[in-house]
Amino acid sequence: MNTRDPCSVVCILIDGVLHDVLQDLLDRGDLPNLSRWVIEPGGLTAGTTVFPSTTGIAYIPILFGCYPGLGDVPGIRWFDRGGTSGGPLARWRAARSYCGPQAGWINRDITHGRSLFELVPESLAICTPITRGLRRGAHLIPVRRALHGAAAHYCRSYPALDRAVASAWVAAAARPWRFLFVVFPGPDGLTHLYDPGHPRVGESCRQIDRALGDFMARALKTGECPTLFVVADHGASPVSEHRDVALELEAMGVATIRHPLHLWRRKARAAVMVSGNGAAHVYFLDALAEVSDLRERLVALPGVALAAYRDGRDGVIVARAHFRARLMDHGERVTYEPLLGDPLGLGRLLKVDDRELLARSLATDFPDAPRQLLQLLASSRSGDVVLAAERGVDFRGAWELPEHRSGHGSLIADHMVVPIAASVPLPDVPLRTVDLMPTMLEALGGQIPDGLDGVPVSRLGAPAGVAL
Ligand SMILES: [Zn+2]
């Protein structure tokens, strides 16, 4: 019996899996179902995610078609300056963190647009941190997600969490739905515990592939073949050094609000909010006379790959060591103006189309950095200075439980490059994860709303292998 709309879409988000890891497993024939149902009819490409490249925040482009800056949720942690003058509860609220009791607040904090769940009411989702727009009962296994998620975090039982997701996914195959969003957190959790290429991450991917096979076998009994999309929200790289930016500021004599215990820091003059842990927003809380001096000291901190801040004239200054450049957003076009050296490695003064700059930036150390820094600093909730970590470094102390042996969040290629696969042909041009939402909406036969940051892939060029 056919119970499903012929225009149905499944988006499988494999949290934190690297493009190279997935490609390597595919080359070895270890992911036969991904090959058969997704890559062979469509394709796989190395796309780019958003900055900060971290779970939750990097789901916003996939579900809303906009960057975190436009959505006004600039990090997994950010600081609400309006809450600093209140009592203890207001101050706890102001130090926003979606890791913990405030996790659900991300749904109401996103200020722009409507999610795919809102646009496609016949949606189901499994294990997503963003649930806005899902109908009652459409977020499957929320209790098991909470219990397994906590156990996985502290007891390393990610395979059990992914098994719970897989069984709910296979069971959902027989239900009526048009959009099904499935999240597998295992690869990211295991990457933090070990490294991105660890055999346990590979086994986690094979487990997901087996679930895909089971799901398809069941889905084809109850309807036509859905259009499949497979994506990761961010990459990752090993961490060998923890450099806590808040402690660096304290060492400079600046009392600093920070998670998890110093949210009520007396006489605080700064706040540091870390994402990933390779990104940090630094907020200056009073008109510090020495702001520009502090900013320079932050830029020069060991482990900082890039820093960015607003120039007060609608531009953004990007800093790498003593190099400086200015970025300006003109909508479709972006200006990159080297002022001292060439911090982004783009070569010279450029005023080019956004997509052309994306393509040029892919060969640099910081893929899509111009657009990503502009989008992030457009949010008034972003810090006065935004920092991106060098490879091998993150911005939180070794006290984190469990200690992160690998991480993400930064603007470096290891964190920004992600696999994007679809069972429909993909164009032979650079793609961003933000392009997926309008592409999926198109496959669902829906109207694409105005004002999105993403572009459906059908408007981006000819499919790979098709001569123009
Ligand atoms: Zn992670």
Read off the pLDDT of residues 176-212 as tens digits, 9 standing for 90 and up: 999 999 999 999 999 999 999 999 999 999 999 999 9
Segment among 50-59, 146-155, 235-244 with least mean pLDDT: 146-155
Q: How confident is the model at residue 259 (pLDDT cuts 50, 70, 90)?
A: confident
Tell how far the Cα of 278 is from the centroid of ligand 1, in angstroms: 10
What span, in angstroms and rounded, lies between the C-alpha atoms of 436 and 419?
12
CA neighbours closer than 13 Å in the CB half-sphere of residue 417? 22
135's CB contacts (< 8 A; 6+ apart) are 121, 123
**Rounded Cα–Cα distance for residues 306 and 343 (Å):** 8
How far is the centre of ligand 1, averaged over its atoms, from the C-alpha of 15 (Å)?
8
pLDDT band at 153 (very low <50, low <70, confident <90, very high): low
CA of 94 to the centre of ligand 1 (A): 23
Spatial separation of the C-alpha atoms in residues 35 and 44, rounded to whole Å: 10
Q: By C-alpha distance, which of 164, 209, 216, 242 is closest to 8?
A: 216
- Which tokens in the block code for residue 397? 């102390």
Mean pLDDT over each residue of the chain, to the nearest integer: 92
Residue type present at position 319: A
User: 59 or 160: whose pLDDT is higher?
Assistant: 59
For residue 342, how far is its CA from the centre of ligand 1 (angstroms)? 31
* Residue closest to 278 by CA, chosen among 247, 245, 248: 245
Q: Give the tens place of pLDDT for each residue, 315-350.
A: 999 999 999 999 999 988 999 999 999 999 999 999
- 124-151 CB burial, b ≥16 within 10 A, e <16: bbbbbbbbbbbeeebbbbeebbeebbee
Please report where in the chains the tokens 């390393």 appear, as a residue: 156
**Global pTM?**
0.94
Which whole-number Å values give the CA distances from 392 to 114, 223, 319, 378, 388, in the listed order?
A: 37, 47, 19, 28, 12
Residue type, 247: L
Q: Answer yes or no: is pLDDT of 120 > 80.
A: yes
pLDDT the model gives residue 400: 65
Determine the average pLDDT of the residues in 425-445. Answer: 96
Cα(125) to centroid of ligand 1, in Å? 20
pLDDT of residue 292: 84
Q: What is the pLDDT of residue 467?
A: 39
The answer to whether residues 113 and 449 touch, using CB atoms and an 8 Å cutoff, is: yes
Cis amide linkage into residue 260, ω under 30° from 0: yes
pLDDT for 274 beyond 70: yes
Distance 154 CA to ligand 1 centre (A): 14
pLDDT-above-90 percentage for the chain: 79
CA of 186 to the centre of ligand 1 (A): 10
- Confidence class for position 468, pLDDT limits 50, 70, 90: very low
Position 148 scores a pLDDT of: 66
Strands 227-231 and 9-14: parallel
Report how far ligand 1's centroid is from the alpha carbon of 407 (Å).
6
Which residues, including other chains, have CB under 8 Å from residue 137's CB and lie 6 or more apart?
none
Residue 54 Cα, ligand 1 centroid: separation in angstroms? Answer: 6
pLDDT digits (tens, 9 = 90+) for 286-319: 766 678 889 999 999 999 999 999 998 999 999 9
